[in-house]
Amino acid sequence: MSVSIQVCIRVRPFSVPNRLGVLMEQTGPSDGEVTLLNSTYTTTRFGFTWSWWSAYGWERNCDERDHADAERMKLVNQDNAYGTVGVLIKKDLMEGNAVVIFAYGLSGSGKTFTVFGPDAIDIPEAWFKHETPHPLWGVFPRLAYDVFKLKEDTWKVILKYFQNVIDTVRDLMSPSCEERTYKEGMRKDEDGFMDILWCQSAMLDDWNHLRSTFKQANSKKAISPTQFNHQSTRGHCIMTLECNMPSPTDPAMRQRGRVYVCDLAGTEPAGDIVYASYSKQKFPDGTVEYKYKGPHPDQTKTKNLQNQGKKINLSLSEMAQFFMKMAGAIKAKKLKPGKSIPGCNSYFLCKYLKDTMLQARTYLFCAIRPEVCVGHNVLCSLAALTVHV
């Protein structure tokens, strides 16, 4: 039986005062619609499985002319998100399926927040610092928490976590944070799912074991502040959680349900990216905003980020190309379900993911921003150049 990729579009809160760029509506359980506002595009309506408006605090920054539209939209929090999609993912996993959760979008648009929740090691709201469910937990912590509640003594739960930074893979589970070229050890396992053989895995006993293991691994993740995101993930992060359990139908077999959480690095204007400084601002309603102060004085930090950004964009472009070609071939009825097209494996991302996601149940979370544009005040200050003659 063939299925389609389930797509969810989610809008993050405003970061600057601006006109509203999108209208998000959910007309049925799996009928979401996104409409572009204040745009000059000819195509403005897009249909997806889910369309979520999560721009909490929009009243502070949304232009008054758009308040009527903003008021029409129902806010979706982390709990609602899991209640809609997470339960489906849990069912798939418990039935022994491979599930790919895959977050895509502009840098700072809320990909990591959707799949994990806050995950910076230095903040108290980080998901792995909470033993019991927290309102800011993303899809994965809620899923894992539920899995461990169901776990029986005969189950094995195995975690693997790594990050692709430029042309290397960094094993976040390895104590020495081992890095190797991304092509090394990338093989399909006996079921046809891609794996990186040399990356370490950990067998987890319980929820707290997962939290501590993840916390340790996550501290090795490459994150930097840019003008778009105070915690920009500087490479594609892939975490796999395998639930190996006796098959309910055949005692001689064990089913290996697994979830691949792919938190992709964001697309960004790589040439303009800067290593940024931020200040944290708390509001009476409990929300926290990070205000961009300006670029960091150390230019080498900026240079490194720009190099990473270029590679990130190239790999994401390849993924976009892959989807475009696949969609074209499917529309032309030249491709059977689950079959792939040749090529599109020059960068880590496509090479690792393309075959795996075609034989898994794939959920794509696309994160977008609510604003139409960001004015000169955010970026122009970066571009002053003094020339001595």
Partner 1 sequence: MFVVSFAMPQVKYLQYTFSTLGFAKNASVIKLQPKKASVAATPAERKLMAELDSLKLQLEEMRKLNAQLMASQGDGSMSVEKQAELAKSLAAKADAERKMKAAAEESQAKQDALMKQQMEIAAKIASGDLSAEEKAAMEQEQAKLKEQMAAEKATAQKNVESLKKEVSAIDSQVNSEVWCDCPSIGCLTFSYWLAMPCSLMLGTLRS
5 binds partner 1 (CB under 8 A): yes
Considering only residues 179 to 238 of the shown chain, the ones binding partner 1 according to CB under 8 A are 189-193, 203, 205
Instruction: Go through 279-297 and write b for each residue having 16 or more CB atoms within 10 A of its CB, e for each that does not.
Output: eeeeeeeeeebbebeebbe
Minimum CB separation from partner 1 for residue 46, in Å? 5
Q: How far apart are CA 220 and CA 212, in angstroms?
A: 13
How far from 178 is each of 113, 217, 312, 372, CA to CA, in Å? 26, 12, 20, 41
Minimum CB separation from partner 1 for residue 165, in Å? 22
Considering only residues 109 to 148 of the shown chain, the ones binding partner 1 according to CB under 8 A are 109
Q: How far apart are CA 338 and CA 125, in angstroms?
A: 39
34 binds partner 1 (CB under 8 A): yes
Please report where in the chains the tokens 């982390």 appear, as a residue. 78
384 binds partner 1 (CB under 8 A): yes
Options 28, 153, 176, 342; binder of partner 1; rule CB under 8 A: 153
Length of the chain: 389
54 binds partner 1 (CB under 8 A): no
Nearer to partner 1 (CB atom), residue 134 or residue 254:
254
CB within 8 Å of 201: residues ≥ 6 apart:
158, 159, 160, 173
Considering only residues 82 to 111 of the shown chain, the ones binding partner 1 according to CB under 8 A are 95-98, 104-106, 109
38 binds partner 1 (CB under 8 A): yes
Q: How far apart are CA 105 and CA 88, in angstroms?
A: 22
Interface segment toward partner 1; rule CB under 8 A; list 68-76, 124-132, 299-307, 372-380 = 372-380
150 binds partner 1 (CB under 8 A): no
382: tokens are 């970066």
Minimum CB separation from partner 1 for residue 156, in Å? 7
332 binds partner 1 (CB under 8 A): no
